[in-house]
Structure formats: structure tokens, C-alpha cells
Amino acid sequence: MSITRRENILMAYRHQIPYFIPSMGDVDFCLPNVLEEGPTCIGASKDGWGVTWLLLESQPGPIQDETVPPVLEDVTEWKEKVHFPDITRYDWEGWAAKDTAEWDRENRISNVVLVNGLWERFVALCDFENALCNLLVEPEATAELLDAIAEHKIGYMKYIKKYYNPDKIQMHDDYGTERNLFMNIETWRELIRPALKKIVDACHDLGMMYEHHSCGHIAPLIPDFIELGIDAWNPVQFTNDPDTLFEKYAGKITFVGAFNDRMHVNPAATPEDNRRAIDHAIETYGPKGSWLPQPSVGEDYIGYCIEKIYEFNKPRYKELGLSGPLFDKPMGMGRAKYTNAEDMMKEQALAEAENRA
């Protein structure tokens, strides 16, 4: 029997049970540097849509600058007020060559990440409170703008297919808080789902898989995701009760993540609690398939997680005549770094010794 790591991870994305747990290190990915979708520097800066972002060195990510009025205060004026970046003027060929220079298309799959999806771009244009109000008081204009944003995203994907030619697109669009959706589910279905369907269908028509990133409690949307043909969803935060989701939907959509992220931010959790949570994810979801481990386990436990996955995979590696590369975090936004268990443990021990010194 012979199988490559690329073939194995594609089995997971096709909702099958792979021969061994795939690694996020089997994915090359990038945020296309050509796009004008966020801040351009530390401090305040505008993106290609005219939205002002604030990014401070102490922040984990950018936020909209609340001291600047939103681009769109009246959603009914979107045709006059919203500036859609002219993507035809971008140097797609030049940037794609740089962004994909270290991709290994023979052994890994490739992924292009699109930030600020439908809802997130709508929020960026209107601000969050106005965006929620617009869903209720101006549903027609809201639907029109969301559809226009979808068409713009599809324009991105056509160029990405031509110049980057990835295996999949991963679009970011958060829909929930820790406890519930941002909006009534029927409102999501009426206003966001039709535009999202256009994006998913276009992605598939272009020959790429579609993975959707959405944080928060969005478990009620998973049947819709499956109907839309969404191939995978991440990060499957623990608020969604991953055990129940796997029982209901394994084989219908691929789950990327599903570790107990609550445990690793709980100051009362013991090291044993954290290790048990990691054990549970790997031992429960690993045999089910339709799963990729994107672990939100904290820096202190990533080494343990790598070892646990290695131990799970070791008999399968032996059967297939494989040795490493093993699970590792993608390094930066370019080529994923492969390692082996022994080197990983040596590096971790060396780092711990340096910290003690």
C-alpha cells in the first residue's frame, strides 16, 4: 500500500477516514499580499474600501478605528458611498509568484485565505451596531449590498484560481458569540445564506474546495453549511459541543479544530486537565475521519499535542512505510515547516532550559 501525505489529507477534506491523522503542516497557505483587505501598517491605516483600521503592537489583531465615522452610515446609499477596490489593476502574477514560491504542490495541499467575508466586510463598512440594525430595518438594501460583496469576492477567486491555483479557498466570516449567533437564524438564512451560496458554488465551479472560518457558537448553522456544500469548517470552538457535531455530521462536512479552547484559557485548569482535553480530541475524533487537528491548546501544550498525534499515527506510519513529517504548526504565512518528533522534543527542551536560565 502506498499513499502520499497529500492524498491522505485530501481524504479528510472529502469527508473520508484518512489512513492517519493529517497535519496542518501538510497545508501551504497564504493571505494574498495583493489584496487591500485590512491595515497596511502599525497605527491607523485605510484599506481599499476606505475603512480605517487600528493596529497596535500590543493587539492580537486589527480593529476598526471607532474615532472615524463608518464609510456607510445609511445602507440605502451603498451604491453611491461604497468603493469597491479595482482588482483588475493588481499585480496578480507578481504577487502570486512571491506568495507561492515555497509551496510544495506534490506533497501538500495549498490554501488561500480571504479575510473579511460577507458579514465581516458589511460590519467594517457600517460598524457593528448599524450592521445589526440594517438587517432588521433595511433588509432589501442589506441583501443587495451583501450580494455585491459576494460578486466582488468571486472576482477575487477567479484571479486567485488563475494565478495562485490553490486546492482550496478559506474565507473568514464570524457569525457568533460564545453563546449564540449574532442574529436570528432566519435572518441569517434570508440575507446572508443566498450570497454565501453564490460564493461556495463559484469556488467549486472554479475547481477549488471551500473552507469556512467562523468563530463563536454557530452549531445551528451546520446543517445549512452542509446543504450549501461547504467542504470544511474551522475552528469548531468548544462552545459548539464538537462531540455531538461529530455524531450527527461526520462524513458530511470536515471539522478543522474542535479542541477544548475553553480549557486552555481557564486559570483553574490543571496540567492534567489540559492533557486530558487533548487526549479526548485525538482519541475521539481521530478514528472518525472528516477531521483535521488545528489545536487551540496553548504554547505550553503544543509539544504534548504533537507527541499524542504521533503516538496515534505511529502504527499507521509503520504499516504504510512512512516516517515523519509529523504534525507541526505552519511557520509564518508561506511554506509549512516539517519536523520529526525527536527534533521537536529537543527544541522544546532547549527552549525550556533557556527560559529557566
Name 292's bridge partners: 256
Q: What is the pLDDT of residue 11?
A: 96
How many residues make up the chain in this entry? 357
Q: Where are the domains of the chain?
A: 5-356
Query: For strand 52-55 and strand 209-213, is the pairing parallel, antiparallel, or unpaired?
Result: unpaired
Does domain 5-356 correspond to CATH entry 3.20.20.210? yes
Question: Do the Cβ atoms of 197 and 228 come closer than 8 Å?
Answer: yes
Collect all residues with Cβ–Cβ distance below 8 Å to 112 and sequence separation of at least 6.
29, 30, 31, 32, 160, 164, 166, 168, 169, 170
CA distances from 117 to 53, 161, 197 (A): 16, 18, 13
Q: Which residue stretches of the chain are H helix?
A: 5-13, 78-81, 92-99, 118-126, 128-137, 139-163, 185-187, 193-205, 222-228, 242-249, 271-285, 302-320, 341-356
**How confident is the prediction along the chain (357 residues), in pLDDT tens digits per residue?**
678 889 999 999 999 999 999 988 899 999 998 999 988 888 889 999 999 999 888 787 888 888 999 999 999 999 999 999 999 999 999 999 999 999 999 989 999 999 999 999 999 999 999 999 999 999 999 999 999 999 999 999 999 999 999 999 999 999 999 999 999 999 999 999 999 999 999 999 999 999 999 999 999 999 999 999 999 999 999 999 999 999 999 999 999 999 999 988 899 999 999 999 999 999 999 999 999 998 888 788 888 898 899 889 988 888 887 765 554 443 333 333 333 444 444 555 565 566 555
Q: Put the strands of the sheet holding 109-114 in their side by side order.
A: 27-30, 109-114, 168-172, 209-213, 232-234, 254-256, 291-292
Q: What is the pLDDT of residue 58?
A: 79
CA separation for the pair 143, 279 (Å, rounded)? 44
Q: Does residue 54 sit in helix, strand or coil?
A: strand
C-alpha cell, 179: 453563546
Q: What is the pLDDT of residue 322?
A: 72
In 3D space, the residue among 13, 189, 197, 179 whose CA is nearest the CA of residue 108 turns out to be: 13
Q: Which region holds residue 298: left if phi is over 0, alpha if psi is between -120 and 50, else beta?
A: left
CA separation for the pair 15, 1 (Å, rounded)? 21
Query: For strand 52-55 and strand 63-64, is the pairing parallel, antiparallel, or unpaired?
Result: antiparallel
In 3D space, the residue among 105, 186, 194, 109 whose CA is nearest the CA of residue 148 turns out to be: 194
CA separation for the pair 170, 347 (Å, rounded)? 31
The answer to whether the Cα torsion of 97, 103, 105, 106 is positive or negative is: positive
Q: What is the pLDDT of residue 1?
A: 60
CA separation for the pair 338, 23 (Å, rounded)? 10
The answer to whether the Cα torsion of 96, 26, 276, 240 is positive or negative is: positive
